[in-house]
Amino acid sequence: MARSSHAPTARKLAENIERIEQLGHRLMAAFSERGMPNPGVQGPGPDLMRAAAQGFVKTLTDQPARMIEQQVNYWGETLKNYAKAQAALAKGQLTAPEDDSPADRRFANPLWQTHPYFNLVKKQYLTNANALREAAAALELPDEIARRRITWLTNQIVDMLAPTNFLATNPDALEKAVATEGESLVRGLENLVRDVEQNQGEMIVSLADRNAFVVGENVGTAPGSVVHRTPLFELIQYAPTTEQVHAVPLLIFPPWINKFYILDLKPENSLIRWLVSQGHTLFVVSWKNPGVEMAETGMEDYVSAYLDAMDKVRELTAQKKLNVVGYCIAGTTLSLTLALLKKRGDDRVNSATLFTALTDFSDQGEFTTFLQDDFVNGIAEEIERHGLMRARLMSRTMSFLRANDLVWGPAIRSYMLGETPPAFDLLFWNGDSTNLPGKMAMQYLRGLCQRNGFATDGFELMGQTLTLGDVDVPVCAIACESDHIAPWKDCWRGVARMGTKDKTFILSESGHIAGIVNPPSKKKYGHYIGSTDFGGDHAAWRESATLTPGSWWPHWAEWLAARSGDIVEARHPQDEIEPSPGSYVHERAI
Active site residues: 328
Q: In 375-394, which positions are buried (b, 16+ CB within 10 angstroms) versus exposed (e)?
A: bbebbbebbeebbbbbbbbb
State whether residue 182 is helix, strand or coil. coil
Q: Give the residue among 246, 263, 245 at the shortest CA–CA distance from 254.
A: 263
Strand order in the sheet with 527-529: 546-548, 527-529, 503-508, 475-480, 349-355, 322-327, 250-253, 282-287, 233-238, 224-229, 578-579
Rounded Cα distance, 479 and 487, in Å: 8
Q: Could you write out the DSSP letters of every residue in 85-118?
A: HHHHHHTTS--PPP--PPP-GGG-STHHHH-HHH
8 Å CB contact between 469 and 498:
yes
Q: Could you write out the DSSP letters of every residue in 260-310?
A: GGGGGSSGGG-HHHHHHHTT--EEEEEE----GGGTT--HHHHHHHHHHHH
Rounded Cα distance, 246 and 569, in Å: 8
Q: Give the residue among 252, 196, 187 at the shortest CA–CA distance from 222.
A: 252
Rounded Cα distance, 103 and 492, in Å: 33
Contacts from 487-492 at CB under 8 Å and sequence distance 24+?
A: 487/363, 487/365, 487/366, 488/538, 489/363, 489/538, 490/358, 490/360, 490/361, 490/362, 490/363, 490/365, 491/354, 491/356, 491/357, 491/358, 491/359, 492/538, 492/541
Rounded Cα distance, 413 and 409, in Å: 6
Q: Give me the phi and psi of 256, to 5 degrees please.
A: -90, 5
Find the DSSP H helices in 400-498: 403, 409-411, 425-431, 438-442, 488-496
Q: Give the residue among 296, 450, 453, 298 at the shortest CA–CA distance from 374.
A: 450
Query: Within 13 Å and on the Cβ side, how many CA atoms surround 261?
Result: 31
Other CB atoms closer than 10 Å to residue 589's CB: what's the count? Answer: 17
Rounded Cα distance, 222 and 239, in Å: 8
Query: Within 13 Å and on the Cβ side, how many CA atoms surround 27?
Result: 14
Amino acid at 163: P
Q: Give the residue among 314, 318, 294 at the shortest CA–CA distance from 441.
A: 294
